[in-house]
A = this chain, B = another copy of it.
């Protein structure tokens, strides 16, 4: 029973998020917590998965930040999403036999590993957990769709504003930031790979957003000084995040 005590608290955010849309019974939750798990601290820059890996376990990010990435044949990198505490990293590795992208830590992090087979079996045995997994996967896909739009059809200014809005809202939904004030755990180079720009241009855009009074920046700390305007510039609507509660109203009120 020791395993329980080790992981129950760290998984709180994850379990809460998993149940956001359809609560699990206490048996379901117990069954989840009874899974074999391993808790690990890893340094910034560590890979949780590499492209081409044959996955053996699934990873949950308990504390810290990570990002998904793919690299083209010419060596340029595209960041596909940023993972925040409480995110499941590896539902794809639960069922797909080879990893199609890599996940790398942005900061020193605490992660939980669960053997792939154990999770597979659990989902078959407890359909409600399967439904929660589908839910979570669908939301991730929705975020990815918006990411395509961002990279594909917005100019540099809107792209950067958008990624900032998304990050802030996701953090706030997990209680990890408030009032548009947060630590952005990425270098400008990483921001560039997330927005499909160059680091140089990211720098210029960030400065111009600051010059126009939309954000305030002290190194990696970001403070939204004009949510409304930033949201406008970003063409941001939180609908695609499928968060519970009011739609854009909530944002407008910030």
Contact = CB atoms under 8 A, between A and B. Distances in A.
Interface of A: 21, 52, 68, 70, 72-74, 76-78, 80, 91-92, 94-98, 100-101, 120, 123-128, 130-131, 133-135, 137-142, 144-149, 151-154, 196, 235, 239-240, 242
Given A70-B148, A101-B142, 17 more contacts: A68-B145, A72-B154, A74-B235, A78-B152, A95-B131, A95-B134, A95-B135, A96-B135, A96-B138, A96-B242, A100-B142, A123-B134, A127-B130, A130-B131, A144-B145, A148-B148, A153-B196
A99 to B, nearest CB: 9
A147 B148 contact: yes
Given A95-B138, A140-B141, A142-B96, A78 B149 contact: yes
Contacts of A134: 91, 94-95, 123, 130, 133-134, 137
A124 B128 contact: yes
Contact of A72 (B72, B101, B127, B153): B153
Which 9 A-B pairs have CB atoms at the shortest separation, nearest pair first?
A: A152-B196, A130-B130, A73-B235, A151-B152, A127-B127, A100-B240, A78-B149, A78-B153, A76-B153
| Identical copies of this chain, number | 2
Contact of A153 (B77, B98, B140, B148): B77
24 contacts: A68-B145, A70-B148, A70-B149, A72-B149, A80-B149, A91-B134, A92-B138, A96-B135, A96-B242, A100-B142, A100-B146, A101-B142, A120-B131, A123-B127, A123-B131, A123-B134, A126-B127, A127-B127, A133-B134, A134-B134, A137-B141, A141-B141, A144-B148, A148-B151
A196 B149 CA distance: 9
For chain A, what secondary structure do more than half of its interface residues adopt (helix, strand, loop), or is it mixed? helix
Contact of A127 (B70, B78, B124, B146): B124
A23 to B, nearest CB: 14
Nearest to A144: B144
Contact of A141 (B21, B72, B144, B152): B144
A245 to B, nearest CB: 12
B239 A100 contact: yes
A121 to B, nearest CB: 10
A64 B97 CA distance: 30
Contacts of A95: 21, 131, 134-135, 138
A87 to B, nearest CB: 14
